[in-house]
Amino acid sequence: MAIVFHKRPGLVAYITCGDPDLDTSRDVALAAIRAGADVIELGVPFSDPVADGPVIQRASERALQHGTNLAGVLDIARQVRQQSPAGLIIFSYLNPILQFGLDRFCAAAAEAGVDGALITDLPVEEAADYLYQNGIVAYAYSTEIPVAVLGAKYKWARGAGLL
């Protein structure tokens, strides 16, 4: 499902998945959508979240203690997608995606109905290595944070001048 903005500001909600557990994370995502969120960023907990502030760092620690991983976050995405057309973004550091396997991640994300992936520590200068692999396109929407978008978005990103 493509993310669509209707010429108005959109509300984006971030959730660190697995804090306190995956079922609650799914329920919080669905509640945020019911409350008006247009896009849900499903945060993948990471052991060294240096780009995040203390609240997300502690949430990641708790989620990792509960065994949350990328596969579990993709399962939440699948469950949310079954109930809502809201935009779904996997919000992750690059390492969990590489450990999962880039090909496997792309296939699983597409199968789950994910709209894209925000990879917080993928420098724009190094994104070219990931641009055309497995249908992933990387582009920067700011000077600091690159975004990897599933292949279906490529034509839109290029047409919008983002590539």
How many helices (H) and strands (E) the chain has is answered by 7, 6
Tell me, yes or no, if 103 is annotated catalytic: no
Which residue in 19, 38, 52, 115 is the catalytic one?
Answer: 52
Distances, alpha carbon 13 to alpha carbons 17, 41, 90, 160, in Å: 12, 6, 12, 24
Which residue in 21, 41, 121, 144 is the catalytic one?
Answer: 41
Tell me, yes or no, if 52 is annotated catalytic: yes
- In this structure, what is the dihedral angle of CA atoms 133, 116, 70, 50, given to the nearest 10 degrees? 90
Residues designated catalytic: 41, 52
